[in-house]
Amino acid sequence: MDMRVNIAGVEWKNPVTVASGTFGSGEEFSEFVDLNRLGAVTTKGVANVPWSGNPTPRVAEVYGGMMNAIGLQNPGIELFCQRDIPYLKQFDTKIIVNVCGHAPEEYLAVVERLQDEPIDMMEINISCPNVNAGFLAFGQDAGHVEELTAQIKKIAKQPVIMKLTPNVTDITEIAKAAEAGGADAISLINTLTGMKIDINRRTFALANKTGGVSGPAVHPIAVRMVYQAAQAVRIPIIGMGGIATAEDAIEMILAGASAVSVGTANFHDPAVTLKVIDGIGKYMEKYGFETVKDMVGAVR
Ligand SMILES: Cc1cc2nc3c(=O)[nH]c(=O)nc-3n(C[C@H](O)[C@H](O)[C@H](O)COP(=O)(O)O)c2cc1C
């Protein structure tokens, strides 16, 4: 049995990474997880300059998951390159840097700064509000997605994963736009926009009013979108959204994902990724799958 997967020319030792923003840059989880065991570590989002994020409260619990409006707080690319990349380089795992921005120039500045850094892939978070398009997220407009992808591809030295937002009417249109712009892979889903009201204080649970819903509650939606995207494009897909067990991850792979990311589940079980990896291995043995690739999209 061989758990290796090849994502856009990069070989991971197994198909499991962590979802951006739920694992820091690995350091706070290293007590619970041997990072050498992960297929890849996906970092929290990083922008060209430090972002302070949204006012608090910015997380809330909801049935079957959580809601967050962190607002992509991050230290900026300079400190990130000095501190987080050297930390991750100590481990035998692939490094995926998640990139955010408010305008194409901001994304491009980060991608350019990463050109000579020893990272393996980059994941572009297009759920960020686009200041030039009335704060609609980049990822909600197929034209913007294709254009931004093409601009990034012109300067990126590492393979580019475009991370799609589920807050759209037709995910296949956006997946195809990323492919047309030259994306090496896509990942999905980011969080679904939600709202929670504190009925006793008669106010919003989050200072931002709305927040992104994640966790098991969103899993069936994520499986459906991964399946639809897999029918629409030929580039590899990294599937995520509510994965909390090996069974959830296997479902995503059978729907068409070549690899998976575990997000919110890390908060209640910091070692969950290891259980997911082991469980996928056991499933492959049980059903006689020699490679992960044989499982990808096996349900049509
Ligand atoms: C607290 C928190 C922070 C997040 N930060 C980011 C981020 O910086 N960049 C990004 O692309 N996605 C971010 N996400 C979205 C996750 O990477 C993931 O796409 C989403 O939560 C669905 O997966 P899950 O249900 O397994 O958490 C964040 C999610 C959470 C819960």
DSSP string across 210-278: EEEEESGGGHHHHHHHHHHHHHH-SS-EEEESS--SHHHHHHHHHHT-SEEEE-THHHH-TTHHHHHHH
pTM, entire model: 0.98
Q: Give the pLDDT confidence score for residue 132 in this predicted structure.
A: 79
Q: Give the pLDDT confidence score for residue 201 in this predicted structure.
A: 95
Which pairing describes strands 10-12 and 5-7: parallel, antiparallel, or unpaired? antiparallel
- Tens-digit pLDDT profile for residues 105-129: 999 999 999 999 999 999 999 998 7
Indicate whether residue 266 lines ligand 1 (CB < 6 A).
no
* pLDDT-derived band at 130, boundaries 50, 70, 90: confident
Instruction: Supply the mean pLDDT for the chain.
Output: 96
Indicate whether residue 218 lines ligand 1 (CB < 6 A).
yes
Q: Which amino acid is at 159?
A: P
Number of residues written out for the chain? 300
Residue nearest (by alpha carbon) to ligand 1 atom 19? 190
Indicate whether residue 163 lines ligand 1 (CB < 6 A).
yes
- Tens-digit pLDDT profile for residues 201-254: 999 999 999 999 999 999 999 999 999 999 999 999 999 999 999 999 999 999
Q: Is the pLDDT of residue 194 over 80?
A: yes
HSE (CB half, 13 Å, CA atoms) of 114? 33
How many other CB atoms are there within 10 angstroms of residue 281's CB atom? 16
Q: Give the pLDDT confidence score for residue 240 in this predicted structure.
A: 98
Question: Measured in angstroms, how far is the CA atom of residue 180 from the centroid of ligand 1?
Answer: 25
Give the C-alpha separation, 20 to 84, whole Å: 14
Residue nearest (by alpha carbon) to ligand 1 atom 11? 125
Cβ neighbours of residue 172 closer than 8 Å, sequence gap 6 or more: 228, 229, 231, 232
Q: Give the pLDDT confidence score for residue 43 in this predicted structure.
A: 98
Q: Is the pLDDT of residue 135 over 80?
A: no
Q: Give the pLDDT confidence score for residue 133 in this predicted structure.
A: 76
